[in-house]
Structure 1
Amino acid sequence: MRLRPLFLVSGLTLCGCITAHRPALVEAEPSLVFPSSFVSSTVGAAEGKTYELDGAMLRALSLATTDFLPPTTPSTPCWDRPESHRYRILREQDVIFIRIDEDPAACGRQVPALHSGAKYAIHADGRLLRRILDGEPEPGLKDGSGEDDTGEEAAPG
């Protein structure tokens, strides 16, 4: 008899730990290579300019943001909010490439946190083709090699 209130209180406490379920995105093309121009050339938003995103690009950006960041609540810290990040979008035919990086200035910081970004490749129909979180190894790159590595061995000495 005395355990019944304990079970009731424990059950109610555990209900507060349940979070909203978001379905995990499954990669369809893990071998897809991100274009090298994706990182270097950008056009920033300028005051008084009009920019147009079609529905497929907006959906891809929304999918990437929802996958990368936790759901926003009043207690979500600044660095986990969508408005505290920078987004780069490149469309090549039916593939939309998205790069998400933390914007430290949005939260009053000087430098971003380590491994605070991600790259996504999303098909125009909404399928996730590839996801690489910062700090994860990229398949196909040798250990210690970067994107600018020519693959040539250096002469000894």
Structure 2
Amino acid sequence: MKNLIKPVQFIIGFIVLVTVTFTTNAQSNQTPVASSKTLLEQTLLEHKGKVIYIDFWASWCVPCRKSFPWMNTIQDKYKQQGFTVVSINLDANKALAEKFLIEMPASFPVIYDPKGKLAKHFNIQGMPSSMLIGRDGTIKSRHTGFFTNKIKQYQQEIEQFLTEEEVK
């Protein structure tokens, strides 16, 4: 029995050593993660000339559970006309946002802003908060909260800005 214990201990020790070495090497070889500001800038540049609905949300936000199905709908409805939704999650713990997204999937990009730098930059006062960016890249309207009785108004704003000529 003693002879069997030593090979088992050796195998376990070897597995631990390989796992630690692989994990350390994998972590040291990872490329740096872009900041939320950089990701937003890249996303806005990628969608330049489009109407963009930017939505700030968090997993604990009850109205966000109502806004996500609507945002998926408008993303699909207006996508061909030069429209996109970009959402910015403000959860400090990314796992909470990921759990939310399993329950309420997004058909649009999600940027994680765990330190709230983007929210602070845009002076976000409540959840959810949204901004509608025109084709010219300027903020055309802002909303704090999401109200199902205002969906028609939100969509009219989107349609209005979609009809504006694209800036070259």
* TM-score normalised by the chain length of structure 1: 0.26
**Structure with the greater alpha carbon radius of gyration:** 2
**TM-score (structure 2 length as normaliser):** 0.25
Higher relative contact order (CA 8 A, sep 6+): 2
Higher helix share: 2
